[in-house]
Amino acid sequence: MIRDRKTAFAIYVVVFVLFWNLAEMLWRTTFGAGNNAAGIDIVTPLIVAIVTGYLFFVARGVDINDELKEARETEGSVIIDVRSRDEYSQGHIPGAINIPGDEIDMISSTIPDKSTPVFTYCLRGSRSRSAVKVLKTMGYTNVINMGGINKYKGEQELCERG
């Protein structure tokens, strides 16, 4: 399974264009469209593939449950909850570390290796998306926005407020 959506999108576009042209050649051969329409059409299937592929692979929302599964399967990964301390204490994904979004620039004391796989989440996904952008500008190379805990289907840990 291809986990990177951009790679899957690119493969989809290429395969779609190839199959489109194969189907078109078979149609012409079977129904005798003649030589006036011969040749390979790249533009039409490319446009159709880009639009449908974008909707299927790129515009599709992030599913925190799928991303969490990937995080758990990725060796050495760290899960960061970028919500406030109060939100974190009210329930978070087990094993997640709380680094509030407004303190994300302090992450190097917790994760000094910038190649560490880092998975971020918040309530709905917008703060974690912003945190990913900041982390990338800081030089972190393997950062993924998991989305929002509001769509999370697993158990949550609670913290006592102190």
Taking the CB of residue 138, how many other CB atoms lie within 10 A of it? 13
CB 77 within 8 A of CB 115: no
C-alpha Rg value of the chain to the nearest Å: 22
The whole-angstrom separation of Cα 118 and Cα 77 is: 6
Query: Which of 24-28, 69-73, 115-119, 131-135 is predicted least confidently?
Result: 24-28
To the question of domain 64-151 being in CATH 3.40.250.10, the answer is yes
pLDDT digits (tens, 9 = 90+) for 102-127: 999 999 999 999 999 999 999 998 99
Query: Which of 26-30, 69-73, 107-111, 117-121 is predicted least confidently?
Result: 26-30
Determine the average pLDDT of the residues in 120-147. 94
What are the domain boundaries of the chain?
5-58, 64-151
Give the Cα-Cα-Cα angle 136, 8, 24 (nearest 5 degrees). Answer: 145
The whole-angstrom separation of Cα 57 and Cα 2 is: 11
Is 122 marked active-site?
Answer: yes
Which one is catalytic: 96, 99, 122, 135?
Answer: 122
Report the pLDDT value the prediction gives residue 52, as an integer from 0 to 100: 75
For residue 72, the one-letter residue type is R
Tokens of 1: 């399974």
pLDDT digits (tens, 9 = 90+) for 51-61: 777 666 655 56
